[in-house]
Amino acid sequence: MVSDPGDDRVSDYFRLRDVNLRRSFEAEQGLFMAESVEVIGRAIAAGYEPRSFLVLQKWLPEVSAWAEAADVPVFVATPDILTQIVGFRLHRGAMAAMRRRTLPELDAVIGDEGTLVIIEDVVDHTNVGAIFRSVAALGACGVLVTPRCADPLYRRSVRVSMGTVFQVPWTRMPSWEVAHDRLRERGVRIVGLGFGPESVDIRSIPGSRRNALVLGTERTGLSARARTHTDVIATIPMQHGVDSLNVGAAAAVALWELVR
């Protein structure tokens, strides 16, 4: 039982809402946080290894077998101590510090079939998680993220994705130029989701070729560089004067059109 919120044994879980601290700490330690028994289970099922668990007493039976199999500690705390450790009220009552894995090569994620998604510089972790959940639910085969995109394994991204980030192959693309060439080599059409005089109704995109759907950042959408590397700019028809959707919602609508 952990009785001191400053106990060094649980330092992996300190100040989970401090994004800058967590970004540097987790990269340095090669860790990410999985929150809730359901998400932890999906991470372990996908082959990720836990370093430790931090749980309320009620969740101890749920995680004990995982901890025993991995030979790692389980730290149990009261709700008040747990809140002081992580910096907020943890309603789901269970967390695990998981070890990151080396990301796959670009070619391995692109593969030979299926629809791909490219997330360009999306900075909100909630949006990244929502996109991954749509990718998994609608059957796209993989995700490429740009170097400046928010971390798909950040705690909030993982939670919003409901752990589907562990099921979908993904990697960071080194540059637009490299990704463009590799996609072209595989015969993939690059479809940017955005507006402009050249844009077409996404419902008109033929399904005779593989597609890679590009989703731009929250404020400005597709960058000029992304637009130069697309084969077509597609838009989602809207009504009642609405001119855009949240990128997470737009991803779901556009993917539905491209994969059906």
In the numeric block, which tokens belong to residue 96?
């695990």
For 122-244, strand residue ranges (E) read 142-145, 170-172, 189-193, 200-201, 211-215, 232-235
**How many CA atoms does the CB half-sphere of 156 hold within 13 Å?**
14
* Residue 165 forms part of a structural domain: yes
- Find the mean pLDDT for residues 33-46: 96
- Find the mean pLDDT for residues 36-50: 97
**What SS3 class is residue 193?**
strand
Domain end residue (candidates: 76, 99, 122):
99
- Find the mean pLDDT for residues 192-198: 90
**pLDDT for 156-173, tens place per residue?**
999 999 999 999 999 999
Looking at the structure, tell me whether residues 142 and 250 fall in a common domain. Answer: yes
The C-alpha atoms of residue 185 and residue 178 are separated, in whole angstroms, by 11
The C-alpha atoms of residue 211 and residue 110 are separated, in whole angstroms, by 11
Domain end residue (candidates: 56, 74, 99):
99
Q: At 122, which CATH number?
A: 3.40.1280.10
**How many CA atoms does the CB half-sphere of 162 hold within 13 Å?**
7
Predicted pLDDT of residue 3: 94
* Residue 77 forms part of a structural domain: yes
Query: Cβ(97)–Cβ(33) under 8 Å?
Result: yes
Strands 31-35, 189-193: pairing kind = unpaired
Strand partners, 32: 98
Predicted pLDDT of residue 22: 87
Domain end residue (candidates: 39, 66, 99):
99
Alpha-carbon distances of 183 from 89, 103, 230, rounded to whole Å: 44, 18, 11
**Quick one: pLDDT band at residue 88, thresholds 50, 70, 90?**
confident
Q: Report CA 211 to chain centroid distance, whole Å.
A: 20
Looking at the structure, tell me whether residues 111 and 184 fall in a common domain. Answer: yes
Domain membership of residue 122 as a residue range: 106-259
* Residue 203 forms part of a structural domain: yes
Write out the H or E segment, with its range, that includes residue 256.
helix 247-259
Predicted pLDDT of residue 62: 95
* Residue 3 forms part of a structural domain: no
Average pLDDT, the chain: 94
**pLDDT for 49-72, tens place per residue?**
999 999 999 999 999 999 999 999
**Quick one: pLDDT band at residue 196, thresholds 50, 70, 90?**
confident
Predicted pLDDT of residue 112: 95
**Quick one: pLDDT band at residue 77, thresholds 50, 70, 90?**
very high
Predicted pLDDT of residue 20: 80
Query: What angle in degrees, to the nearest 10, is found between the helix axes of 125-138 and 247-259?
Result: 20
Task: Residue 77: count other Cβ atoms within 10 Å of its Cβ.
Answer: 25
Structural domain count, the chain: 2
**Quick one: pLDDT band at residue 244, thresholds 50, 70, 90?**
confident
Q: At 32, which CATH number?
A: 3.30.1330.30
pTM of whole model > 0.85?
Answer: yes
Looking at the structure, tell me whether residues 123 and 94 fall in a common domain. Answer: no
**pLDDT for 118-133, tens place per residue?**
999 999 999 999 999 9
Looking at the structure, tell me whether residues 83 and 126 fall in a common domain. Answer: no
Looking at the structure, tell me whether residues 138 and 208 fall in a common domain. Answer: yes
**pLDDT for 199-242, tens place per residue?**
999 999 987 789 999 999 988 899 999 999 999 999 999 899 88
- Find the mean pLDDT for residues 90-105: 94
The C-alpha atoms of residue 164 and residue 166 are separated, in whole angstroms, by 5
